[in-house]
C-alpha cells in the first residue's frame, strides 16, 4: 500500500495555511468592519480545527493492524471527513447568523481596498493548498485530504463572495449587499458540507467499492469460469483507501488441494493487480456438494453459474 504516514505532512500544510489566513482575514475585518470578512475569518478558524483533526486521523489510519483491529485502522479517515463536513455546515450557519444581524442593522464599510486585497491574498493561499490536497487525495485515495481540500475551496468561494459583496456595497452605497452576498455564499458551501457528510457516512456503512472496479473483478472471474470452475458469493467493501474483496470458488471435487490452491493464488493475484490497495479472501468449495450453494441467497453475486445450476 502507498506510504500512508507521509500523508500527515499535508495536514501540517493545511494547519499552517489556516493560521496564516486567520491572521490575514482577522486583520481585514478589523480594518473594514465588514461582516462578510468577519464570517470569512470565522471559517478559517473552522479550517484550523478541521486540519488538526485531519492530522490526528491520518496518523490513526496509518497505524498497522493489531490484535483488536485485524483489518487495520483506515476507517479513521471517515470520522475525520465527517467531522470536516459538520464543521463546514457549522461555518455556514455562523456566517448566516452574523449576516442576518448586519442585514437588520447595516453599517458602512471602511478601507475597502485594503480589506479586499488582504482577503484576496488569503484566498490565494487557500487555493494553492487546496489544489495540492486534491492532488494528494486522489493519488493516495484519502477521503480526509479530499474533504480538507473541499473545505479550503469552500473558503475560497466564501472569500470571493465577500470581496464581491464589499465592492458592490461600496459602489452602490447599499450596505445590505454585504450581508446578502455573505448569506448566498454560506448557502452554497452548505452543499459541500452535506456532500462530504454523506460520503463519510456511506463509508462507515461498508459501502461497496466503485462499480467500475467491481466490473473488473467480474471480468477476471468470468475469464476463469471454465473447466468446471464456478464462482459465487462476491462481496466488496471499502475502508478508507483500502478495499476488501471476498468470493467463493467452486471446483470439481476430484481436483487435488494443490490444484485448487494454485488456481486461487492466480485469481487473487489478478484481482489485486486490477484493484489497487486491496485484500482478497477466497474460499474453495466442491462444485458437486449442494451445501456449496447454500449461502448464495445471502450474498451479492453468483458469477459464472449458468441458469439453473
Strand stretches in the chain, DSSP E: 230-239, 242-251, 278-286
pTM tops 0.95: no
Q: Would the pLDDT of 185 be above 90?
A: no
Q: What is the pLDDT of residue 307?
A: 40
pLDDT tens string 91-120: 788 778 877 877 777 766 666 677 778 778
pLDDT tens string 41-67: 777 777 788 888 888 878 777 777 777
What is each CA distance from 229 to 22, 217, 242, 290, in whole angstroms? 62, 16, 28, 15
Q: Who wins on pLDDT, 233 or 181?
A: 233
Q: What is the pLDDT of residue 281?
A: 92
Residue 262 banded pLDDT, cuts 50, 70, 90: very high
50, 87 contact by CB (below 8 A): yes
Residues in the chain: 309
Work out the average pLDDT over 265-282: 91
Nearest to 180 by CA among 157, 156, 164: 164
Residue 296 banded pLDDT, cuts 50, 70, 90: low
Q: What is the pLDDT of residue 86?
A: 86
* Domains within the chain, CATH numbers bracketed: 5-204 (1.20.1510.10), 211-298 (3.30.70.1350)
Q: Would the pLDDT of 122 be above 70?
A: yes
Q: Would the pLDDT of 19 be above 50?
A: yes
DSSP string, the chain: ---SGGGHHHHHHHHHHHHHHHHHHHHHHHHH--HHHHHHHHHHHHHHHHHHHHHHHHHHHTSPPBTTBTT-STTHHHHHHHHHHHHHHHHHHHHHHHHHHHHHS-----SHHHHHHHHHHHHHHHHHHHHHHHHHHHHHT-HHHHHHHHHHHHHHHHHHHHHHHHHHHHHH--TTHHHHHHHHHHHHHHHHHHHHHHHHHHHHTTPPPPHHHHHHHHHHHHHH--TT-EEEEEEEEEETTEEEEEEEEEE-TTS-HHHHHHHHHHHHHHHHHHSSSEEEEEEEEETT-GGGGTTGGGSS--TTPPTT-
Q: What is the pLDDT of residue 300?
A: 45
Amino acid at each position: 500500500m502507498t506510504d500512508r504516514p507521509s500523508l500527515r505532512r499535508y495536514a501540517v500544510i493545511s494547519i499552517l495555511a489556516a493560521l496564516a489566513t486567520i491572521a490575514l482575514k482577522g486583520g481585514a475585518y478589523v480594518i473594514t468592519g465588514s461582516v462578510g470578512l468577519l464570517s470569512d475569518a470565522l471559517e478559517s478558524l473552522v479550517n484550523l480545527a478541521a486540519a488538526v483533526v485531519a492530522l490526528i486521523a491520518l496518523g490513526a489510519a496509518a497505524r498497522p493492524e493489531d490484535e483488536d483491529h485485524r483489518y487495520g485502522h483506515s476507517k479513521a479517515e471517515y470520522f475525520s471527513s465527517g467531522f470536516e463536513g459538520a464543521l463546514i455546515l457549522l461555518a455556514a450557519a455562523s456566517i448566516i447568523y452574523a449576516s442576518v444581524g448586519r442585514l437588520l442593522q447595516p453599517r458602512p464599510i471602511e478601507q475597502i481596498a485594503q480589506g479586499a486585497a488582504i482577503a484576496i491574498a488569503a484566498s490565494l493561499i487557500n487555493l494553492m493548498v487546496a489544489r495540492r490536497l486534491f492532488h494528494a487525495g486522489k493519488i493516495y485515495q484519502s477521503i480526509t485530504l479530499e474533504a480538507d481540500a473541499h473545505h479550503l475551496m469552500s473558503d475560497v468561494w466564501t472569500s470571493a463572495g465577500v470581496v464581491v459583496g464589499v465592492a458592490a456595497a461600496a459602489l452602490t452605497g447599499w450596505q445590505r449587499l454585504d450581508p446578502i452576498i455573505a448569506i448566498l455564499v454560506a448557502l452554497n458551501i452548505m452543499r459541500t458540507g452535506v456532500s462530504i457528510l454523506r460520503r463519510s457516512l456511506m463509508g462507515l456503512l461498508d459501502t461497496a467499492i466503485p462499480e467500475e472496479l467491481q466490473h473488473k473483478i467480474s471480468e477476471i472471474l468470468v475469464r476463469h469460469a471454465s473447466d468446471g470452475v464456478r464462482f459465487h458469493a462476491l462481496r466488496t467493501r471499502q475502508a478508507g483507501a483500502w478495499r476488501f474483496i471476498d468470493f467463493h470458488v467452486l471446483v470439481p471435487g476430484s481436483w487435488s488441494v494443490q490444484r485448487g490452491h494454485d488456481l486461487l493464488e492466480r485469481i487473487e493475484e489478478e484481482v489485486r493487480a486490477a484493484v489497487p490497495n486491496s485484500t482478497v479472501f477466497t474460499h474453495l468449495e466442491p462444485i458437486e456438494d449442494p451445501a456449496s450453494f447454500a449461502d448464495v441467497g445471502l450474498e451479492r453475486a453468483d458469477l459464472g453459474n449458468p441458469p439453473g445450476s
